[in-house]
Amino acid sequence: MALYSDIVMDHFRNPRNVGVIENADGVGEVGNAKCGDIMKIYLKIDGDTITDAKFETFGCGSAIASSSMATEMIKGQPVAQALQLTNKAVVEALDGLPAHKIHCSVLAEEAIKLALKDYYDRHGIAYDKQQFPSCENCGHCHTH
């Protein structure tokens, strides 16, 4: 069996939503201390809906495929639903990742959560801090 699924290869070779959103409503940047890869997600949010999502990923192919798939999955979704996106769902949508590449999909989940937290913070929207447990003391996140 090939190491990477056809879907992973497709999203790696033709990533969707690469780029920057000027005047984004929320931006989240995370890095993995071990591999040194960095992922940045930009969100445009209108009302309660994510109308656009883009990413810049300086990292491995699995991180690029994960950010491509994850941004596709949250576009058009309500904010509350995007908050529920797990790295597991991203891996499933990619038709799997090798075990040693699962952490790459975690970056996508964390970057999206951080961008949503940024959106809440910027707009003064109250939220339950428990929704962002990995943001507490993890030291992964860079501020932009």
For ligand FES, the binding residues in 37-56 under the rule CB under 6 A are 37
Give the C-alpha distances (Å, rounded to integers) separating 135 from 9, 20, 46, 65, 131.
30, 23, 25, 23, 9
Return the number of the residue (8 or 107) whose C-beta is nearest ligand FES. 107
In eight-state DSSP terms, residue 18 is B
For position 59 contacting ligand FES by CB under 6 A, the verdict is yes
Binding to ligand FES by residue 60, rule CB under 6 A? yes
Locate 76 and state its tokens.
């058009």
> 41 or 79, CB closer to ligand FES?
41
Give the phi and the psi of residue 123 in degrees, each rounded to 5.
-100, 5
Verify whether residue 135 is a known catalytic residue: no
Which residues contact ligand FES by CB under 6 A? 32, 35, 37, 59-60, 62-63, 101, 104, 107
